[in-house]
A and B are shown apart, each in its own frame.
Chain A
Amino acid sequence: MLDTILRIPPFNVRVRAPFADVAAHLARFYSAYERLEGTAFVDFDVELIPGGGVRRWWRKQVRFRADAQMPFLPLPADQAAPLLEWGLNWTIASRSLGYLVLHAAVLAREGRAVILPGFPGAGKSTLCASMCHLKDWQLFSDELAIIDPATRRLIAHPRPISLKNESIDLVSGFPGARLGPLFHDTRKGTVAHAAVPETSVLKAESSAQAKWIVFPKFSKDGTTSIEEITRAEAFTLIQQQSFNQERMGDVGFDTLCSLLSETRCYSINYGSTDAGLRAIASIVAEAD
Chain B
Amino acid sequence: MRADIVKLTHLMTAPSLSADLSSSEWRELIALAREENLLGKLGAILTSHDQIPKGSPARHLVGALMLSRRQRQSVTWEAHKIDQALSELDVPVVLLKGAAYALGNFASADGRLFGDVDILVPREHIARVEMQLRVHGWNSLKLDAYDQRYYRQWMHEIPPMMHVHRGTVIDVHHTILPLTARYRPDPARIFSEASRLNGFRCLRIPSPEDLVIHSCCHLVHEGEVDNILRDIHDIARLLETCFSSHDARMKLAQAAIHHDLQEPTSLALLLVQQYFNRPEIAPILDALEAHNWQSSHARLVNRYLRAIGPDLDSTPSWGKALARQLIYIRGHSLRMPLAMLLRHLVRKAWMQWRDKEPIRTAEN
Contact = CB atoms under 8 A, between A and B. Distances in A.
Interface of A: 11-12, 38-43, 45, 64, 67-69, 71-73, 75, 83, 86, 89-90, 95-99, 143, 162, 187-188, 246-252
Given A41-B57, A96-B64, 11 more contacts: A45-B312, A72-B362, A73-B361, A86-B363, A86-B364, A90-B364, A97-B59, A162-B364, A247-B67, A248-B63, A249-B66
A53 B62 CA distance: 40
B274 to A, nearest CB: 22
B310 A73 contact: no
A96 B63 contact: yes
Q: List 7 A-B pairs, minimum CB-CB distance, nearest first.
A: A249-B70, A98-B63, A96-B63, A41-B23, A72-B362, A68-B310, A96-B67
Contact of B66 (A11, A12, A98): A98
Contact of A188 (B39, B70, B364): B364
Contacts of B364: 86, 89-90, 143, 162, 188
Given A68-B310, A98-B63, A248 B70 contact: yes
Contacts of A40: 23-24, 27
Interface in B30-60: 31, 34-35, 39, 55-60
B153 interface: no
Contacts of A89: 364
Nearest to B61: A98
A250 B359 CA distance: 34
B244 interface: no
B27 A41 contact: yes
B63 A95 contact: yes
A72 B27 CA distance: 24
Contacts of B251: none
A99 B59 contact: yes
A89 B362 CA distance: 11
B26 interface: yes
B70 to A, nearest CB: 3
Interface in B267-318: 310-312
Contacts of B69: 249
19 contacts: A40-B27, A41-B26, A41-B27, A42-B31, A68-B310, A68-B312, A73-B359, A90-B364, A95-B60, A95-B63, A96-B39, A96-B60, A96-B63, A96-B66, A98-B63, A188-B364, A248-B63, A249-B69, A249-B70
Given A39-B23, A41-B57, A73-B362, A68 B70 contact: no
A41 B34 CA distance: 15
B25 to A, nearest CB: 9
A86 B362 CA distance: 8
Nearest to B74: A249
Given A67-B35, A86-B362, A90-B363, A98 B23 contact: no
Nearest to A52: B315
B313 to A, nearest CB: 9
Most chain-A Cβ atoms within 10 A of its Cβ — which of B27, B73, B310, B364? B364
A39 B24 contact: yes
A45 B31 contact: yes
Interface residues of B, number: 32
B22 interface: yes
A42 B27 contact: yes
Contacts of B70: 246-250
B22 A248 contact: no
A67 B66 contact: no
A41 B59 contact: no
B360 interface: yes
B194 to A, nearest CB: 29
Contacts of B361: 72-73, 187
A99 B57 contact: no
A143 B62 CA distance: 24
A41 B55 contact: yes
Contacts of A83: 362
A39 B58 CA distance: 17
Contacts of A69: 35
Contacts of B62: 98
A188 B360 CA distance: 16
Nearest to A5: B27
A246 B56 CA distance: 22
A164 to B, nearest CB: 10
A84 B22 CA distance: 28
A42 B22 CA distance: 12
A29 B359 CA distance: 32
A162 B62 CA distance: 31
B56 A41 contact: yes
Contact of B67 (A42, A72, A86, A248): A248
Contacts of B59: 43, 97-99
Interface string B2-36: 00000000000000000000111011000100110
Nearest to A186: B362
Contacts of B58: 98
A217 B302 CA distance: 61
Nearest to B32: A67
A200 to B, nearest CB: 22
A173 B70 CA distance: 47
B312 A75 contact: no
Contact of A38 (B24, B26, B63, B363): B24
Contacts of B73: 249
Contacts of B66: 96, 98, 247-249, 251-252
A242 B62 CA distance: 19
Contacts of B31: 42, 45, 67
Given A39-B22, A67-B312, A96-B64, A187 B362 contact: yes
B6 to A, nearest CB: 19
A22 B144 CA distance: 45
A268 B332 CA distance: 60
A268 B310 CA distance: 48
Contacts of A75: 362
